[in-house]
Amino acid sequence: MPRSAGDLDLTFQALADPTRRAIVERLSRGQASVSELAGPHAMSLPAIVQHLALLENSGLVRSEKVGRVRTFRMVPAGLSLAEQWFDRRRAQWQRRLDRLGEHLERFPDGEPKTGR
């Protein structure tokens, strides 16, 4: 049973591997079968299947088996929470820079000296 798409630990863990990132890149262009996904990688099929299982467990992708073919597709919502995490960090950082800018405008020569 895949965990919820919102688990940032699993999302970032899933993305911390170049093969898994390449698979997500491939799937963000459209769905693909296991053999299509394995194609570009010099890796055993069981190793690819293990990467796919980890990706599916993270909620970034899901799969469906029709007959003997298992097809994978992206779950865009799986990336959303991670993107939002970056957006919040960026916003916090920007607020910090804004405050610093205001401070430098008010005191271009540094802090006013005490007793002046």
Q: Provide the binding-site residues for its own copies, judged by CB under 8 A.
A: 8-13, 15-18, 21, 24-25, 28-30, 74, 76, 79, 82-83, 85-86, 88-90, 92-93, 96
Choose between 42 and 97: whose C-beta lies nearer to its own copies: 97
Q: How far is the CB of 16 from its own copies (least distance, A)?
A: 4
- Spatial neighbors of 80 by CB under 8 A, at least 6 apart, are 5
Choose between 97 and 115: whose C-beta lies nearer to its own copies: 97
Q: How far is the CB of 1 from its own copies (least distance, A)?
A: 20
Computed on alpha carbons and rounded to an integer, the radius of gyration of the chain in Å comes to 22
Half-sphere exposure of 28 (CA within 13 A, CB side): 11
